Protein backbone atom coordinates (compact mmCIF):
# COMPACT_ATOMS: atom_id res chain seq x y z
CA UNK A 1 0.00 0.00 0.00
CA UNK A 2 1.47 3.46 -0.88
CA UNK A 3 2.76 5.43 2.11
CA UNK A 4 0.46 8.37 1.33
CA UNK A 5 -2.58 6.07 1.51
CA UNK A 6 -1.38 4.59 4.81
CA UNK A 7 -0.96 8.09 6.31
CA UNK A 8 -4.40 9.11 5.06
CA UNK A 9 -6.03 6.07 6.68
CA UNK A 10 -4.14 6.72 9.93
CA UNK A 11 -5.28 10.34 9.98
CA UNK A 12 -8.91 9.32 9.43
CA UNK A 13 -8.70 6.77 12.24
CA UNK A 14 -7.29 9.34 14.64
CA UNK A 15 -9.95 11.88 13.66
CA UNK A 16 -12.71 9.32 14.13
CA UNK A 17 -11.59 8.47 17.65
CA UNK A 18 -11.70 12.13 18.64
CA UNK A 19 -8.11 12.13 19.93
CA UNK A 20 -7.08 15.65 20.87
CA UNK A 21 -3.78 17.49 21.03
CA UNK A 22 -1.15 16.68 23.64
CA UNK A 23 -2.56 17.81 27.04
CA UNK A 24 0.91 19.09 27.90
CA UNK A 25 0.29 21.70 25.20
CA UNK A 26 -2.92 23.51 26.16
CA UNK A 27 -4.88 25.54 23.67
CA UNK A 28 -4.72 29.30 24.29
CA UNK A 29 -7.31 31.93 23.40
CA UNK A 30 -6.25 35.54 24.00
CA UNK A 31 -9.16 38.00 23.94
CA UNK A 32 -8.42 41.72 23.86
CA UNK A 33 -10.88 44.59 23.77
CA UNK A 34 -10.01 48.18 22.87
CA UNK A 35 -10.01 50.95 25.50
CA UNK A 36 -12.06 48.98 28.04
CA UNK A 37 -11.71 50.33 31.54
CA UNK A 38 -11.22 47.69 34.23
CA UNK A 39 -14.27 48.85 36.20
CA UNK A 40 -16.73 48.42 33.33
CA UNK A 41 -17.20 44.68 33.97
CA UNK A 42 -19.61 43.07 36.40
CA UNK A 43 -16.88 40.86 37.87
CA UNK A 44 -15.03 44.05 38.89
CA UNK A 45 -18.04 45.42 40.71
CA UNK A 46 -20.17 47.30 38.18
CA UNK A 47 -23.93 46.74 38.46
CA UNK A 48 -25.18 48.96 35.61
CA UNK A 49 -23.49 46.93 32.84
CA UNK A 50 -24.33 43.55 31.31
CA UNK A 51 -21.37 41.17 31.01
CA UNK A 52 -22.88 37.81 32.08
CA UNK A 53 -20.60 35.53 30.05
CA UNK A 54 -17.41 37.27 31.11
CA UNK A 55 -18.59 37.24 34.72
CA UNK A 56 -19.38 33.53 34.49
CA UNK A 57 -15.93 32.87 33.05
CA UNK A 58 -14.40 34.88 35.90
CA UNK A 59 -16.17 32.67 38.43
CA UNK A 60 -14.17 29.72 37.07
CA UNK A 61 -10.95 31.68 36.54
CA UNK A 62 -8.30 33.67 38.36
CA UNK A 63 -9.15 37.38 38.45
CA UNK A 64 -6.32 39.85 39.02
CA UNK A 65 -7.20 42.89 41.10
CA UNK A 66 -3.81 44.61 40.80
CA UNK A 67 -2.97 44.24 37.10
CA UNK A 68 -1.54 47.34 35.41
CA UNK A 69 -0.53 48.29 31.90
CA UNK A 70 3.13 48.94 31.29
CA UNK A 71 1.88 51.57 28.83
CA UNK A 72 -1.73 52.60 28.23
CA UNK A 73 -2.10 53.45 24.56
CA UNK A 74 -2.84 50.90 21.88
CA UNK A 75 0.21 50.33 19.63
CA UNK A 76 2.91 50.26 22.33
CA UNK A 77 0.62 48.37 24.71
CA UNK A 78 -0.13 45.68 22.15
CA UNK A 79 3.57 45.41 21.31
CA UNK A 80 4.31 44.92 25.01
CA UNK A 81 1.72 42.14 25.26
CA UNK A 82 3.05 40.39 22.16
CA UNK A 83 6.71 40.62 23.17
CA UNK A 84 6.81 40.82 26.98
CA UNK A 85 8.97 43.95 26.65
CA UNK A 86 8.48 47.43 28.06
CA UNK A 87 7.96 50.55 25.95
CA UNK A 88 11.42 51.90 26.82
CA UNK A 89 12.81 48.71 25.31
CA UNK A 90 10.78 48.03 22.14
CA UNK A 91 10.03 51.73 21.36
CA UNK A 92 7.16 50.80 19.01
CA UNK A 93 4.73 53.69 19.33
CA UNK A 94 3.09 56.54 17.48
CA UNK A 95 5.42 59.50 17.95
CA UNK A 96 9.10 60.27 17.47
CA UNK A 97 11.48 59.08 18.88
CA UNK A 98 9.36 56.15 20.11
CA UNK A 99 8.01 55.16 16.70
CA UNK A 100 10.06 52.16 15.65
CA UNK A 101 8.78 49.49 13.32
CA UNK A 102 9.21 46.16 15.10
CA UNK A 103 11.68 44.08 13.05
CA UNK A 104 10.45 40.63 12.06
CA UNK A 105 13.49 39.20 13.84
CA UNK A 106 12.18 40.66 17.12
CA UNK A 107 8.64 39.49 16.43
CA UNK A 108 10.16 36.01 16.20
CA UNK A 109 10.43 36.19 20.00
CA UNK A 110 6.75 37.10 20.46
CA UNK A 111 4.31 34.65 22.01
CA UNK A 112 2.53 33.69 18.74
CA UNK A 113 5.80 33.20 16.86
CA UNK A 114 7.32 31.08 19.63
CA UNK A 115 4.17 28.99 19.94
CA UNK A 116 4.03 28.50 16.19
CA UNK A 117 7.64 27.27 16.24
CA UNK A 118 6.59 24.83 18.98
CA UNK A 119 3.93 23.25 16.77
CA UNK A 120 0.90 25.39 17.57
CA UNK A 121 -1.54 26.49 14.89
CA UNK A 122 -1.72 30.26 15.36
CA UNK A 123 -4.55 32.56 14.43
CA UNK A 124 -5.20 36.28 14.65
CA UNK A 125 -8.56 38.00 14.18
CA UNK A 126 -9.31 41.71 14.29
CA UNK A 127 -7.23 44.82 14.88
CA UNK A 128 -3.56 43.92 14.78
CA UNK A 129 -2.43 47.37 15.87
CA UNK A 130 1.36 47.00 15.67
CA UNK A 131 3.77 48.54 13.20
CA UNK A 132 5.53 45.33 12.20
CA UNK A 133 8.07 44.72 9.48
CA UNK A 134 6.72 42.19 7.00
CA UNK A 135 8.18 40.29 4.12
CA UNK A 136 5.09 40.97 2.02
CA UNK A 137 2.21 43.47 2.03
CA UNK A 138 0.52 42.25 5.22
CA UNK A 139 1.37 40.67 8.55
CA UNK A 140 -0.73 37.62 7.65
CA UNK A 141 2.43 35.63 6.89
CA UNK A 142 3.24 35.53 10.61
CA UNK A 143 0.11 33.44 11.38
CA UNK A 144 -1.45 30.24 10.10
CA UNK A 145 -4.87 31.93 10.07
CA UNK A 146 -5.20 35.71 9.79
CA UNK A 147 -8.49 37.58 9.43
CA UNK A 148 -8.02 41.20 10.31
CA UNK A 149 -6.65 44.65 9.65
CA UNK A 150 -2.89 44.99 9.29
CA UNK A 151 -1.32 48.14 10.73
CA UNK A 152 1.53 47.64 8.29
CA UNK A 153 -0.56 47.98 5.14
CA UNK A 154 -3.70 49.81 6.35
CA UNK A 155 -5.66 47.68 3.89
CA UNK A 156 -8.01 44.92 4.80
CA UNK A 157 -9.55 42.97 6.18
CA UNK A 158 -7.12 40.29 5.05
CA UNK A 159 -8.27 36.67 5.15
CA UNK A 160 -7.70 33.49 3.15
CA UNK A 161 -9.61 34.04 -0.07
CA UNK A 162 -10.04 30.29 -0.63
CA UNK A 163 -12.19 30.02 2.52
CA UNK A 164 -15.76 30.42 1.30
CA UNK A 165 -17.13 30.76 4.83
CA UNK A 166 -14.79 33.67 5.59
CA UNK A 167 -15.84 35.29 2.33
CA UNK A 168 -19.43 35.17 3.59
CA UNK A 169 -18.44 36.47 7.01
CA UNK A 170 -16.53 39.43 5.56
CA UNK A 171 -18.91 40.18 2.69
CA UNK A 172 -19.06 43.87 1.93
CA UNK A 173 -22.83 44.21 2.30
CA UNK A 174 -22.80 43.39 6.02
CA UNK A 175 -23.85 46.17 8.35
CA UNK A 176 -20.64 47.80 9.71
CA UNK A 177 -22.36 47.94 13.11
CA UNK A 178 -21.93 44.15 13.18
CA UNK A 179 -18.14 44.52 13.36
CA UNK A 180 -17.92 42.75 16.72
CA UNK A 181 -20.21 39.97 15.49
CA UNK A 182 -18.04 39.57 12.39
CA UNK A 183 -15.00 38.95 14.60
CA UNK A 184 -17.04 36.45 16.58
CA UNK A 185 -18.00 34.67 13.36
CA UNK A 186 -14.35 34.53 12.26
CA UNK A 187 -13.40 33.20 15.71
CA UNK A 188 -15.88 30.34 15.33
CA UNK A 189 -14.59 29.69 11.81
CA UNK A 190 -11.05 29.31 13.11
CA UNK A 191 -12.25 26.73 15.61
CA UNK A 192 -14.29 24.89 12.97
CA UNK A 193 -11.16 24.49 10.85
CA UNK A 194 -8.90 23.41 13.74
CA UNK A 195 -7.24 19.97 13.37
CA UNK A 196 -8.00 17.77 16.37
CA UNK A 197 -4.41 16.65 16.86
CA UNK A 198 -2.76 20.09 16.93
CA UNK A 199 -2.79 22.66 19.76
CA UNK A 200 -3.83 26.19 18.85
CA UNK A 201 -3.25 29.75 19.95
CA UNK A 202 -5.94 32.17 18.78
CA UNK A 203 -5.73 35.92 19.43
CA UNK A 204 -8.91 37.92 18.94
CA UNK A 205 -8.67 41.71 19.02
CA UNK A 206 -11.99 43.56 19.10
CA UNK A 207 -12.41 47.19 18.00
CA UNK A 208 -15.03 47.58 20.73
CA UNK A 209 -15.47 49.10 23.27
CA UNK A 210 -13.59 52.09 21.99
CA UNK A 211 -16.08 53.60 19.62
CA UNK A 212 -17.92 56.67 20.83
CA UNK A 213 -19.98 57.19 17.71
CA UNK A 214 -21.96 54.62 15.73
CA UNK A 215 -19.36 51.92 15.01
CA UNK A 216 -20.07 48.60 16.71
CA UNK A 217 -23.44 49.79 18.01
CA UNK A 218 -25.36 46.60 17.23
CA UNK A 219 -29.03 47.54 17.08
CA UNK A 220 -30.65 44.83 19.24
CA UNK A 221 -28.13 45.50 21.99
CA UNK A 222 -28.59 49.27 21.87
CA UNK A 223 -32.17 48.79 23.07
CA UNK A 224 -30.95 47.13 26.30
CA UNK A 225 -29.45 50.41 27.48
CA UNK A 226 -31.87 53.00 26.12
CA UNK A 227 -32.38 55.75 28.71
CA UNK A 228 -30.50 53.71 31.34
CA UNK A 229 -28.86 55.79 34.06
CA UNK A 230 -25.18 54.88 34.15
CA UNK A 231 -22.80 55.03 37.12
CA UNK A 232 -20.70 58.21 37.45
CA UNK A 233 -17.22 57.90 39.00
CA UNK A 234 -16.43 60.12 41.97
CA UNK A 235 -13.63 61.91 40.14
CA UNK A 236 -15.63 62.73 37.02
CA UNK A 237 -15.24 66.46 36.34
CA UNK A 238 -17.87 68.66 34.73
CA UNK A 239 -16.21 71.14 32.41
CA UNK A 240 -12.48 71.78 32.47
CA UNK A 241 -10.42 70.49 35.38
CA UNK A 242 -8.29 73.41 36.61
CA UNK A 243 -6.50 71.20 39.15
CA UNK A 244 -4.52 69.18 36.59
CA UNK A 245 -0.87 70.04 35.92
CA UNK A 246 -0.86 72.81 33.29
CA UNK A 247 1.29 70.68 30.98
CA UNK A 248 -1.72 68.39 30.47
CA UNK A 249 -3.46 71.21 28.62
CA UNK A 250 -1.42 69.93 25.68
CA UNK A 251 -2.66 66.34 25.87
CA UNK A 252 -5.59 65.44 23.66
CA UNK A 253 -7.57 63.94 26.53
CA UNK A 254 -8.12 67.42 27.98
CA UNK A 255 -9.78 68.94 24.93
CA UNK A 256 -11.56 65.70 24.00
CA UNK A 257 -13.19 65.74 27.43
CA UNK A 258 -14.66 69.16 26.66
CA UNK A 259 -16.11 67.77 23.41
CA UNK A 260 -17.32 64.39 24.62
CA UNK A 261 -17.75 63.89 28.36
CA UNK A 262 -17.73 67.28 30.09
CA UNK A 263 -21.48 67.50 30.78
CA UNK A 264 -23.75 64.98 32.50
CA UNK A 265 -25.67 64.46 29.26
CA UNK A 266 -22.54 63.80 27.19
CA UNK A 267 -21.17 61.47 29.84
CA UNK A 268 -24.35 59.40 30.06
CA UNK A 269 -24.67 59.14 26.28
CA UNK A 270 -21.17 57.73 25.88
CA UNK A 271 -21.34 55.52 28.98
CA UNK A 272 -24.37 53.82 27.43
CA UNK A 273 -22.54 53.40 24.13
CA UNK A 274 -19.58 51.72 25.79
CA UNK A 275 -21.92 49.45 27.77
CA UNK A 276 -23.66 48.38 24.55
CA UNK A 277 -20.35 47.46 22.93
CA UNK A 278 -19.17 45.60 26.03
CA UNK A 279 -22.36 43.51 25.97
CA UNK A 280 -21.81 42.65 22.29
CA UNK A 281 -18.27 41.51 23.09
CA UNK A 282 -19.62 39.54 26.04
CA UNK A 283 -21.93 37.64 23.70
CA UNK A 284 -18.91 36.58 21.62
CA UNK A 285 -17.26 35.27 24.78
CA UNK A 286 -20.36 33.17 25.34
CA UNK A 287 -20.14 31.84 21.78
CA UNK A 288 -16.48 30.97 22.31
CA UNK A 289 -17.11 28.98 25.49
CA UNK A 290 -20.06 27.16 23.90
CA UNK A 291 -17.94 26.20 20.87
CA UNK A 292 -14.99 24.99 22.97
CA UNK A 293 -17.36 22.84 25.02
CA UNK A 294 -18.93 21.46 21.85
CA UNK A 295 -15.45 20.56 20.57
CA UNK A 296 -14.65 18.83 23.87
CA UNK A 297 -11.50 20.90 24.47
CA UNK A 298 -12.59 23.25 27.24
CA UNK A 299 -10.70 21.23 29.86
CA UNK A 300 -7.44 21.75 27.93
CA UNK A 301 -7.89 25.41 26.98
CA UNK A 302 -6.64 28.62 28.56
CA UNK A 303 -8.71 31.77 27.99
CA UNK A 304 -7.22 35.18 28.77
CA UNK A 305 -9.47 38.25 28.76
CA UNK A 306 -8.05 41.77 28.90
CA UNK A 307 -7.95 45.10 27.07
CA UNK A 308 -5.15 47.15 25.48
CA UNK A 309 -5.61 50.11 27.85
CA UNK A 310 -8.18 51.85 29.99
CA UNK A 311 -9.82 55.21 29.38
CA UNK A 312 -10.67 58.19 31.54
CA UNK A 313 -14.08 58.98 30.10
CA UNK A 314 -14.26 62.20 32.09
CA UNK A 315 -12.42 61.07 35.23
CA UNK A 316 -9.89 63.76 36.20
CA UNK A 317 -11.43 65.92 33.45
CA UNK A 318 -9.71 63.81 30.78
CA UNK A 319 -11.36 61.79 28.06
CA UNK A 320 -8.60 59.72 26.50
CA UNK A 321 -5.88 57.39 27.90
CA UNK A 322 -2.06 57.21 28.26
CA UNK A 323 -1.73 59.55 31.29
CA UNK A 324 -0.65 57.53 34.33
CA UNK A 325 -3.76 57.74 36.52
CA UNK A 326 -5.42 54.42 37.35
CA UNK A 327 -8.44 54.84 35.07
CA UNK A 328 -6.08 54.43 32.10
CA UNK A 329 -3.46 52.22 33.75
CA UNK A 330 -5.43 49.60 35.67
CA UNK A 331 -6.00 46.46 33.60
CA UNK A 332 -8.92 44.02 33.62
CA UNK A 333 -7.29 40.58 33.61
CA UNK A 334 -9.10 37.25 33.79
CA UNK A 335 -7.25 33.99 33.16
CA UNK A 336 -9.19 30.73 32.90
CA UNK A 337 -7.27 27.45 32.76
CA UNK A 338 -9.45 24.46 31.98
CA UNK A 339 -6.78 22.13 33.36
CA UNK A 340 -6.93 23.58 36.89
CA UNK A 341 -8.59 21.86 39.78
CA UNK A 342 -11.63 23.33 41.51
CA UNK A 343 -9.45 24.70 44.30
CA UNK A 344 -7.60 26.94 41.82
CA UNK A 345 -10.73 28.36 40.21
CA UNK A 346 -12.77 31.37 41.18
CA UNK A 347 -9.84 33.01 42.98
CA UNK A 348 -8.86 36.66 43.12
CA UNK A 349 -5.20 37.62 43.26
CA UNK A 350 -3.85 40.88 44.74
CA UNK A 351 -0.24 40.51 43.57
CA UNK A 352 1.18 43.32 41.42
CA UNK A 353 0.99 42.25 37.77
CA UNK A 354 2.12 43.98 34.57
CA UNK A 355 0.81 43.65 31.02
CA UNK A 356 4.42 42.71 30.16
CA UNK A 357 3.79 39.45 32.05
CA UNK A 358 1.26 38.03 29.59
CA UNK A 359 3.63 36.85 26.84
CA UNK A 360 6.02 34.95 29.13
CA UNK A 361 3.05 33.46 30.99
CA UNK A 362 1.48 32.09 27.81
CA UNK A 363 4.77 30.49 26.80
CA UNK A 364 5.30 29.05 30.27
CA UNK A 365 1.80 27.58 30.41
CA UNK A 366 2.47 25.93 27.04
CA UNK A 367 5.80 24.50 28.21
CA UNK A 368 7.72 26.68 25.75
CA UNK A 369 11.02 28.31 26.71
CA UNK A 370 10.70 32.02 27.48
CA UNK A 371 13.23 34.08 25.46
CA UNK A 372 15.64 36.33 27.32
CA UNK A 373 14.27 39.36 25.47
CA UNK A 374 11.05 39.13 27.50
CA UNK A 375 11.25 41.30 30.62
CA UNK A 376 7.86 40.38 32.10
CA UNK A 377 7.40 37.76 34.81
CA UNK A 378 5.70 34.37 34.60
CA UNK A 379 2.30 34.37 36.34
CA UNK A 380 2.04 30.59 36.43
CA UNK A 381 2.74 30.35 40.16
CA UNK A 382 0.07 32.97 40.90
CA UNK A 383 -2.40 31.04 38.78
CA UNK A 384 -1.88 27.70 40.51
CA UNK A 385 -1.31 29.16 43.99
CA UNK A 386 2.28 27.94 44.35
CA UNK A 387 3.90 31.39 44.21
CA UNK A 388 5.16 32.76 47.53
CA UNK A 389 3.66 36.24 47.21
CA UNK A 390 6.18 37.52 49.76
CA UNK A 391 8.83 36.93 47.11
CA UNK A 392 6.80 38.47 44.29
CA UNK A 393 7.43 41.99 42.99
CA UNK A 394 6.08 44.88 45.06
CA UNK A 395 5.69 47.41 42.23
CA UNK A 396 5.24 47.75 38.47
CA UNK A 397 6.69 50.18 35.96
CA UNK A 398 4.38 52.49 33.98
CA UNK A 399 5.34 54.72 31.04
CA UNK A 400 3.81 57.21 28.62
CA UNK A 401 5.76 58.69 25.69
CA UNK A 402 2.86 59.78 23.45
CA UNK A 403 2.76 63.45 22.41
CA UNK A 404 -0.28 64.57 20.43
CA UNK A 405 1.49 67.47 18.69
CA UNK A 406 4.10 65.13 17.23
CA UNK A 407 1.43 62.64 16.19
CA UNK A 408 0.08 65.26 13.78
CA UNK A 409 3.39 65.28 11.85
CA UNK A 410 4.39 61.65 12.36
CA UNK A 411 4.76 61.03 8.62
CA UNK A 412 7.46 63.70 8.31
CA UNK A 413 10.51 62.45 10.28
CA UNK A 414 12.50 65.66 9.90
CA UNK A 415 9.62 67.82 11.08
CA UNK A 416 8.81 65.39 13.91
CA UNK A 417 12.38 65.55 15.26
CA UNK A 418 12.47 69.35 15.13
CA UNK A 419 9.05 69.61 16.79
CA UNK A 420 10.07 67.13 19.49
CA UNK A 421 13.09 69.28 20.39
CA UNK A 422 10.96 72.43 20.42
CA UNK A 423 8.29 70.84 22.63
CA UNK A 424 10.85 69.75 25.21
CA UNK A 425 12.64 73.12 25.15
CA UNK A 426 9.36 74.95 25.74
CA UNK A 427 8.03 72.68 28.50
CA UNK A 428 5.12 71.14 26.60
CA UNK A 429 6.28 67.55 26.99
CA UNK A 430 4.14 65.35 29.23
CA UNK A 431 6.14 62.15 28.73
CA UNK A 432 6.14 60.36 32.03
CA UNK A 433 7.18 57.28 33.91
CA UNK A 434 6.58 56.00 37.39
CA UNK A 435 5.64 53.09 39.62
CA UNK A 436 2.50 51.66 41.14
CA UNK A 437 2.67 49.67 44.38
CA UNK A 438 -0.31 48.06 46.09
CA UNK A 439 -0.77 51.30 48.06
CA UNK A 440 1.09 54.15 46.36
CA UNK A 441 1.39 55.73 42.94
CA UNK A 442 4.36 57.89 41.92
CA UNK A 443 5.17 59.32 38.51
CA UNK A 444 7.02 62.24 36.98
CA UNK A 445 6.86 64.26 33.77
CA UNK A 446 10.58 63.79 33.25
CA UNK A 447 11.10 66.13 30.27
CA UNK A 448 9.49 69.10 32.00
CA UNK A 449 11.78 71.64 33.72
CA UNK A 450 11.47 71.65 36.62
CA UNK A 451 10.28 68.05 36.72
CA UNK A 452 6.61 67.74 37.68
CA UNK A 453 5.89 64.89 40.12
CA UNK A 454 2.73 63.29 41.48
CA UNK A 455 2.37 61.02 44.50
CA UNK A 456 -0.82 59.41 45.76
CA UNK A 457 -1.79 57.22 48.70
CA UNK A 458 -4.34 54.95 46.98
CA UNK A 459 -5.54 53.50 50.26
CA UNK A 460 -6.64 56.90 51.57
CA UNK A 461 -7.21 58.49 48.16
CA UNK A 462 -8.21 55.86 45.56
CA UNK A 463 -9.40 58.52 43.10
CA UNK A 464 -5.98 60.24 43.06
CA UNK A 465 -7.21 63.68 44.09
CA UNK A 466 -4.59 64.70 46.66
CA UNK A 467 -1.02 65.03 45.34
CA UNK A 468 1.35 64.41 48.28
CA UNK A 469 4.63 65.39 46.61
CA UNK A 470 4.95 68.60 48.66
CA UNK A 471 3.90 66.97 51.95
CA UNK A 472 7.03 66.64 54.15
CA UNK A 473 5.56 63.58 55.88
CA UNK A 474 6.02 61.67 52.61
CA UNK A 475 9.55 62.86 51.80
CA UNK A 476 11.18 59.52 52.68
CA UNK A 477 8.61 57.54 50.70
CA UNK A 478 9.02 59.92 47.77
CA UNK A 479 12.76 59.24 47.72
CA UNK A 480 12.18 55.47 47.72
CA UNK A 481 9.67 55.62 44.86
CA UNK A 482 11.97 57.85 42.82
CA UNK A 483 14.71 55.25 43.28
CA UNK A 484 12.33 52.39 42.46
CA UNK A 485 11.28 54.13 39.24
CA UNK A 486 14.92 54.50 38.19
CA UNK A 487 15.61 50.86 39.09
CA UNK A 488 12.67 49.42 37.15
CA UNK A 489 13.38 51.64 34.17
CA UNK A 490 16.99 50.45 34.13
CA UNK A 491 15.85 46.81 34.27
CA UNK A 492 13.34 47.38 31.45
CA UNK A 493 15.86 48.71 28.96
CA UNK A 494 18.62 46.71 27.24
pLDDT for the residue 490: 97
> Between these two residues, 401 and 24, which has the higher pLDDT value?
401
Q: How confident is the model at residue 344 (pLDDT cuts 50, 70, 90)?
A: confident
User: Is 50 within 8 Å of 227 (Cβ atoms)?
Assistant: no
DSSP for residue 95: B
Can you give the pLDDT at residue 330?
A: 98
Residue 14's Cβ-side half-sphere holds a number of Cα atoms within 13 Å equal to: 13
Q: What is the pLDDT of residues 231-290, one digit of tens each?
A: 999 999 999 999 999 999 999 999 999 999 999 999 999 999 999 999 999 999 999 999
What is the average per-residue pLDDT within 446-450?
97
Q: What is the largest CA-CA distance in the chain?
A: 86
Could you tell me which residues come within 8 angstroms of residue 14 by beta carbon, excluding any fewer than 6 positions away?
A: 196, 197
Distance CA 194, CA 36 (A): 29
What whole-number distance in Å separates Cα of residue 462 and Cα of residue 325?
10
User: pLDDT band for position 214 (50/70/90)?
Assistant: confident
3-state DSSP assignment of residue 157: coil
Task: Label residue 136 by pLDDT band (50, 70, 90).
Answer: low
396 in helix, strand or coil? strand
Q: What predicted TM-score, i.e. pTM, was given to this entire model?
A: 0.94
Distance CA 142, CA 130 (A): 13
In this model, does residue 141 exceed pLDDT 90?
Answer: no
* pLDDT confidence tier of residue 15, bands split at 50, 70 and 90: very low
Quick one: which H or E segment has residue 277?
helix 264-295
Residue 450 CA to residue 427 CA, distance in Å, equals 9
Rounded distance between C-alpha atoms, residue 223 and residue 80, angstroms = 37
pLDDT band at 108 (very low <50, low <70, confident <90, very high): very high
Give the model confidence (pLDDT) of 345-360 as tens digits: 899 999 999 999 999 9
pLDDT the model gives residue 10: 44
Query: What are the boundaries of each domain within the chain?
Result: 26-388, 398-492
pLDDT at 156 over 80: no
* Greater pLDDT, 212 or 229: 229
**Residue 138 in this model has a pLDDT that exceeds 90:** no
The DSSP output letter for 345 is: S
Q: Is a pLDDT exceeding 60 seen at residue 487?
A: yes
Q: Which DSSP category does 386 fall into?
A: -
Task: Output the CA angle 138-144-147, nearest 5 degrees.
Answer: 55
What pLDDT, on the 0 to 100 scale, is given for residue 47?
A: 96
Q: For the segment 191-212, what is each residue's pLDDT rounded down to a tens digit?
A: 999 999 999 999 999 999 998 8
On whether the CB atoms of residues 316 and 464 are closer than 8 A, the answer is yes
Confidence band, pLDDT 50/70/90 cuts, at residue 139: confident
Q: Mean per-residue pLDDT for 297-324?
A: 98
Based on C-alpha coordinates, what's the Rg of the chain?
Answer: 23
- What is the dotted CATH code of the domain comprising 398-492? 3.30.1120.10
| pLDDT of the residue at 155 | 57
Question: Which residues on adjacent β-strands are paired with residue 440?
Answer: 457
331: pLDDT strictly greater than 70? yes
What mean pLDDT do residues 439-445 have?
A: 98
Beta sheet of 347-349, edge-to-edge order = 145-149, 121-127, 200-205, 27-33, 301-307, 333-337, 62-64, 347-349
Strand 67-68 with 347-349, pairing: unpaired
What's the pLDDT band for 150 if we cut at 50, 70, 90? Answer: low
Rounded to whole angstroms, the Cα distance separating 476 from 470 reads 12
The pLDDT confidence band at residue 91, using thresholds 50, 70 and 90, is very high
For domain 26-388, the CATH class is: alpha beta
pLDDT computed for residue 405 by the predictor: 96
Task: Look at residue 158 and tell me whether its pLDDT is greater than 80.
Answer: no
Share of the chain above pLDDT 90, in %: 86
Q: How confident is the model at residue 140 (pLDDT cuts 50, 70, 90)?
A: confident
Three-class HEC string of 43-91: HHCCCCCCCHHHHHHHHCCEEECCEECCECCHHHHHHHHHHCCCHHHHC
Under a CB-based contact definition with an 8 Å cutoff, are residues 68 and 86 in contact? no
Q: What was the pLDDT predicted at 135? A: 56
What's the CA gap between 428 and 68, in Å, rounded? Answer: 26
Mean of per-residue pLDDT scores for the chain? 93
User: Count of residues for the chain?
Assistant: 494
Give the HSE-up count for residue 202: Cα atoms under 13 Å, Cβ half-sphere. 28
Mean pLDDT of 377-402: 96
Are 27 and 199 in contact by the 8 Å Cβ rule? The answer is yes
pLDDT at position 215, please? 84
Q: How confident is residue 8, by pLDDT bands cut at 50, 70 and 90?
A: very low
Amino acid sequence: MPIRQILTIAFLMISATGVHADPEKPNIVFLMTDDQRWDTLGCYGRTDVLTPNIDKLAEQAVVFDNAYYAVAICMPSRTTMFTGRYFSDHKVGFTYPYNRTLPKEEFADSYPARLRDAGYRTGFIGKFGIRLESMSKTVAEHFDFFAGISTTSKHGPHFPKDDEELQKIYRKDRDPKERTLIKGDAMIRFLETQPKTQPFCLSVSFDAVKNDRDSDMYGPHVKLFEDKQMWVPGNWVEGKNTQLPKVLDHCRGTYLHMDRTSTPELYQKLARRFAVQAYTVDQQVGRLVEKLEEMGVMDNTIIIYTSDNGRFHGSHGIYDKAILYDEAMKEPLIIFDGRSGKEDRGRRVDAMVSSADLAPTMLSLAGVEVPKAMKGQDLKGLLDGTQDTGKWRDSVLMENFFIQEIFKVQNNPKKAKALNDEIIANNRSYRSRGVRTDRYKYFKYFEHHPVIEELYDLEADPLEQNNLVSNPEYAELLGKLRAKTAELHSEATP
